[in-house]
Chain A
């Protein structure tokens, strides 16, 4: 790739826009999560601040900004402050290869999905550092869980995505979207239903959301790896969690649901509609299901998702070899 000045400027502009997207996403998600949780639990949710409580996210973020950042005793000072920043920074790069619209792709690279998976793997490092440096036993247990879980769930996730990559012959998300048609039966979900299912399950595990939220399981580990964080430290973890959710939703939309392509008129709106439908799905199951136990979580992964993913990959390879 020729890293000329134009591309450099393009990346800078893209990262700035992505920061805006992340913050906007957090605002939307805070409101959506609380409102959806409210409706599921038969209560109104936030409604005091602004019309229908829409300014709730602003109040929440002001509170988090104004809070004292408390440093507990005997923490590893540098790692303790590094961890939330490490959680936040890689997410900025993750959105670069995502095709948001027909012409709106921040960065065209051939190995887009490799970039995403590589930097997504960095996220677990921040969890580990946060849990280790906090000098808290709950955090340590949470960090151990986070590592085991994230490493485990990356594998079926990669297998599911690899099947689509084999089928389309490209690792570039824009090309994968380009090969899909406008209508749902032309999307990859029709050709790869098993891969979609595996991806959907491991997506929840990868983003540490309930019912797979074991690293932060509040009824067992109080808040898991971020027990000792308050104020902006906590807010950065929060922000990166929502950004990670958005990213896996965008990848899901691009790989399986036709990305920006949709009935009537292709465009950026289809990407966002699909991504936020998946986000809604994640929120929905969070407020519906109890949490699984840790050994059950790993059993689902190693005994079900991984063999199914391998089977699916093998089938795809055979079909691609003999049919295409």
Chain B
């Protein structure tokens, strides 16, 4: 699909949905590779399942709706949704979790609302939320990152163990799911705080200290840094607007820093928040979704900043370890309102 030419002034640019989506996919690669490096085969399985289910579902719905299947299927938007979803899901999620999330994302969140360009909510995040509130237990199944020992091994489980667990739901006889999975730093700090162990205590605990790195969590730090790098490349290429990520990061850092300064023992540092969980993935790839995010310059500042604040609120006081998906979907609802009140002045309009 090419963007329609509008009346003058013309800027010659043949960017299509397809080009944009593939650039987003390229920018995801470093972070995704880091995810696979730190969390193992499970991430790869998530990607394979999510991509195949999303593409199949998209093709089926397009056929039902009597639309052109190939041009829409290959425009890359479905691939982006699938990849974002797969990278957000925990690495040891059973296959049916990924499948349900993918089906919800494409069929309900995207096509029941009218398809690409009409969906008010970010499809990948709706899919994530559906499985998050339906299967909270399975959604904590992250493997131990590379270099961290859990049970009687170090790092993530080998190919056969992961495969059997993800696709067949069986584990080797001497293993339980607890001996191959591990809480994420965000989750761990939350549960420890609820048992009145402050952050320094958790980080110094021999049992957990390997999970934490200088900035945030082992693995998470690098994954987030690489998403940041990919995101900066996207901004340089003019694929995403710089305002939403900047506003998001600034507001998340400011508010988490404020609380960390007030009560250092019970609040993680600003850097920890910015480089944990899905923060950078959200900042550059999820919150910037061209369909569901605010589109006016001022609106983007508001949208990004509010998302950052919501992420912090949900992480700190909500019932779930990470708040990215909920924050983004909550802000998606407000997008029309934000856009309505932040219309830029038309050139030549009289000033107040």
Do A and B pair up? The answer is: no
**Chain B residues proximal to chain A, CB less than 8 Å:** none
